[in-house]
Amino acid sequence: GIPVARQAANKLLNQGCTIKSLNPVNTFHKSQYPSETELFFPGRVTLPPDLVITREIVEALSQLPPFYGLTADGVKNADLLSEIPVVKLCSGVHLADSDLTDRGFEAFIRNHPDGYVHVEGTRVTREKAEQMHHKFRYAAFHTDYLEGKRWLAIRQKTGDPKPDPNEPTNPDPETSDAGLSDSEREFDE
């Protein structure tokens, strides 16, 4: 068959992306492509700043095997990245200084609720950050206005695993903010 993942990786590398692989441990870039004789397991994908995200780039990213991190700081058309199914498996997505909008931010939180989304310096508004923070109480994100790291703070304090997001929340801020940072407490009061 056709090595779809390797071809997709080569398309991305030709656009200036770098891909750190897990096995073999290596960093691939425009002048070093994945071997045709070894299995290819990407770990972290980094898109160059100012890269304009197109449907072709989205398709190539979608054809990669699951990877754990995406760094796309400063990219254009960042909202398109929220449509990539494999990104929901990422533990971290960095989109700082990109043109990500409220719509794209909400799509990342809805589609990828277990990951971390760093969107400092984007077009995400305070209102959308607050809305997502209250609507998705266990979403982990960082915006210019607030950090949504409630479950991470609780886990650090108690060692408990991430709670089930379907469990009812305690609407009383006086008894439910034990694990909140000062910036989160400010928005909950």
pTM of the model: 0.79
pLDDT category at 35 given cuts 50, 70, 90 is confident
Q: Is the pLDDT of residue 82 over 80?
A: yes
Q: Is the pLDDT of residue 188 over 60?
A: no
State the Cα–Cα distance between residues 108 and 152, nearest whole angstrom: 18
Q: Is the pLDDT of residue 10 over 50?
A: yes
Q: In the chain, where are the structural domains located?
A: 4-149
30-35 contacts, C-beta under 8 A, 24 or more apart: 33/6, 33/9, 34/6, 34/9, 34/10
State the Cα–Cα distance between residues 156 and 119, nearest whole angstrom: 23
Q: Is the pLDDT of residue 32 over 80?
A: yes
Buried b (16+ CB within 10 A) or exposed e, 69-79: bbbbbbbebbb
In tens, the pLDDT along 89-121 reads 888 999 999 999 999 999 999 987 778 999 999
Largest CA distance in the chain: 59
In tens, the pLDDT along 141-177 reads 999 999 887 666 667 777 766 666 555 444 444 434 4
Stretch 8-13: mean pLDDT = 96
Instruction: Provide the pairing of β-strand 25-28 with 92-94.
Output: unpaired
Query: What radius of gyration, in Å, describes the C-alpha atoms of the chain?
Result: 18
121 SS3 class: coil
Report domain 4-149's class. Answer: alpha beta
